[in-house]
Amino acid sequence: MKFNNYFKPLLSGYYKHYRYPNQRLALVVGMLPWKDIVNEWVFESAHVQIQRHFDKQYFNLWLKPFIQKVNPVIYIWGYKAPQYFIEYVRAQGVDIFFLEDGFIRSGPDDDSSAPPLSIVMDSQAPYFDTTRPNDLTDLIANFDFEQDNYDEVLAQEMLDYYVSHRVSKYNHQPYVDVAPIYGTKNKERILVLGQVPHDDSLKYGGGEGITLLDVVKKAIKENSDAQVIVKPHPMTLDNPDIVSTLIELDCLILTQSIHLVDALETIDHVYTITSLGGFEALLRGKKVTVLGRPFYEDLCTSNAKSNTPSLSQILYICYYAYHLIVAT
């Protein structure tokens, strides 16, 4: 373990705590790539950062006494910290926030290495963890559109802008005309969205053990007369094992990186496990089937309830009421 990454920050934290006893300190875990902009994300005026790869000896001898003495507000990137650390913090009732890329991750001029354009911050669990309550699912279930300063006009304007300006989580990909790729449309079109295997959103979203192959087979079985198009996750395009499992199936496999908004052109129905792309498809009025349990599961056409929020209402909750912090 490197002194500068684990020990020096805690020593600095003790100094700040005793030097400014009336100011709460933030302890940031697992955000080293964004160390120069973290101060814009935390609520406290002072913070220290440690890397996420620490062992139980460091935790017991250094980190636990620090938390007990300083009582910092803890910020973790997703679940990028040892599980025993997260369980301890929760058991102690320490203030904690889980940060993740926001639902708008990049702008047109950004590349994949750029800091997130926005982040979401949750006081209970990352939004992809539906095994337990989180702030987003609580908002969706309990938001009072009569009392919580809801602005219907603003919500509809936001939805109209979102759709008409082709807003997505990742907005740096160039436009691709999918018409020559898809061919002439003479039947219903199904789009299957792949995900990164073993991603936390699968593990904590009811999708563990479900593969892209499983999703494609289900889509074909339930739509035998449709054209099935498969969009593997961009991070898996270089993995031959992902595509090779699909070659013998009756489907069109997109082997190039295509913006999700382009891929959704002329699509009638989307299948996925827990991908946020399924949620974006819902916002564009597409029918969506999920095999996992993402936060938007109850919003899918086949699972919709009578009290399900409208598209403009759900966009307002997720992109406005939920903690969305624009990074500069």
Tens-place pLDDT, residues 56-93: 999 999 999 999 999 999 999 999 999 999 999 999 99
Please, what are the averages of pLDDT over each run of 10 residues along the chain (328 residues)? 91 96 95 83 93 95 97 95 96 95 87 84 96 95 87 95 94 90 97 94 96 96 97 87 87 93 98 97 96 94 68 93 67
The closest of 264, 257, 206 to 233, measured between CA atoms, is 257
Domain boundaries, the chain: 3-142, 177-309
Rounded Cα distance between 256 and 22, Å, is 54
pTM attached to this predicted model: 0.92
* Strand order through the sheet with 189-193: 252-253, 227-231, 189-193, 269-272, 287-290
Query: What pLDDT score was predicted for residue 148?
Result: 72
The tens digit of pLDDT for each residue in 137-160 reads: 999 999 999 887 899 999 999 999
H-helix or E-strand spanning residue 17: helix 8-19
| One-character DSSP codes across 35-74 | TTTGGGT-SSSEEEEE-S---HHHIIIIIHHHHHHH--EE
The amino acid that residue 69 corresponds to is K
Tell me the fold of 177-309: Rossmann fold (3.40.50)
Joined tokens for residue 109: 């001029």
Asked if residue 300 lies in contact with residue 289, where contact means CB atoms within 8 angstroms, the answer is: yes
Q: Does residue 294 contact residue 132 with C-beta atoms inside 8 Å? A: no
**Residue 23 CB neighbour total at 10 angstroms:** 11
For residue 2, report the phi and psi dihedrals to the nearest 5 degrees: -85, 135
Res 75: pLDDT? 96
3-class DSSP state for residue 193? Answer: strand
